[in-house]
């Protein structure tokens, strides 16, 4: 697997035809859900090669004038692997203005939050608040 991330053609994540450009997915570890006396947790395994992928991505971001931070997405596998892995890690390559769904961040997948400004025509009272 190639460790490099392909660049988007255009600042808005599209090519000359206007179609979204797919960036390469970068996998960087796995996890296994286990049960403990205090509930379930996910143990994560990251190999030296995986750490190098993360470091290379951070260096690439720093060279492009970004802050160099790397966000990782822990995702559940469709099926448990033969080694017992239930989850995998992927570098979250999503950027604001990026139209590709490859690097979905929590911003893309979080449920919409309602607040008083979103409610039109209804008065919000203290009884409506959950606390």
Domain boundaries, the chain: 27-115
Whole-number pLDDT of residue 3: 42
Output phi, psi for 39, to 5 deg: 120, -170
Do 41 and 32 touch, CB atoms closer than 8 A? no
pLDDT recorded at residue 96: 82
Residues in the chain with pLDDT < 70? 1-22, 98-131
Question: Can you tell me whether residue 109 is helix, strand or coil?
Answer: helix
Q: What is the pLDDT of residue 122?
A: 57
Task: Provide the whole-model pTM.
Answer: 0.57
Element (DSSP H or E) covering residue 43 = strand 39-45
């Amino acid at each position: 697997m190639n460790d490099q991330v392909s660049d988007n053609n255009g600042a808005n994540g599209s090519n000359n035809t206007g179609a979204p450009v797919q960036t390469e997915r970068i996998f960087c570890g796995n996890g296994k859900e286990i049960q403990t006396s205090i509930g379930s947790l996910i143990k994560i395994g990251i190999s030296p090669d995986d750490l190098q992928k993360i470091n290379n991505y951070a260096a690439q971001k720093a060279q492009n004038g970004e802050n160099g931070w790397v966000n990782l997405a822990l995702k559940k596998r469709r099926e448990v692997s033969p080694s017992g892995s239930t989850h995998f890690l992927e570098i979250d390559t999503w950027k604001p203005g990026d139209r590709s769904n490859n690097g979905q961040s929590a911003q893309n997948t979080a449920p919409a939050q309602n607040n008083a400004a979103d409610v039109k025509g209804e008065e919000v009272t203290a009884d409506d608040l959950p606390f």
